[in-house]
Amino acid sequence: MRWDDATFQGEHGEWKWFVCRNVIENLPSLVIQEHPICRLWIATFDSGTITPSVKELAIGWSSIDGAMVSPPLRPGLDIPSDQFDEWYIFDADRLVLGELERFVNYGGFNLADPRRMAKSFDPTWEPSGLDWLCALQDRFWLQLDRLAPVSYVASGDNDVVVTRNLRFAECIRKAIR
């Protein structure tokens, strides 16, 4: 694992995770395809929040706890996306999310082991240059365990996908090759 690799992947408990420095093609379509009837919560949109338009409300989008919540996912559903978006996909109706830390807004956020990446740094670089990422990752995994989504998707400096859905994990693995 080098600091400048284009992709990273691994496991954390029951979670499969993927980080891609490039945009994962057709990511919204893959989310819909592999999470039928789940609901997608847009927790972060363009680094902030988003509320559904009148048209989106009419087709079943709603707003809960500062997140925009989809109707049950189905082919043809348009998922609003921009830059620095963060989605949680749940298989059941949730009533609340509670306090959320927005990880997509941390520049360079990823799930690769910072210590292993630092070993590939140029010898003139500070070897502790990624230490800030360790605490951030710890908070991320605590939040993910608390929320227990089926999947998490973030698109910012990196595309980050974390899932318990094995079919979705295989689709992402193929997409980032």
How far is residue 148's CA from residue 75's CA, in Å, rounded to a whole number? 24
Model pLDDT for residues 4-24, shown as the tens digit of each residue: 668 899 999 999 999 999 899
The pTM assigned to this predicted structure is 0.93
* Contacts for 51 with CB less than 8 Å, ≥ 6 apart: 63, 68
Number of domains in the chain: 1
Model pLDDT for residues 87-102, shown as the tens digit of each residue: 999 998 777 888 899 9
Residue 47 lies in domain: 7-175
How far is residue 151's CA from residue 17's CA, in Å, rounded to a whole number? 10
Model pLDDT for residues 20-76, shown as the tens digit of each residue: 998 999 999 999 999 999 999 999 999 999 999 999 999 999 999 999 999 999 999
Domain contains 138? yes
Domain contains 29? yes
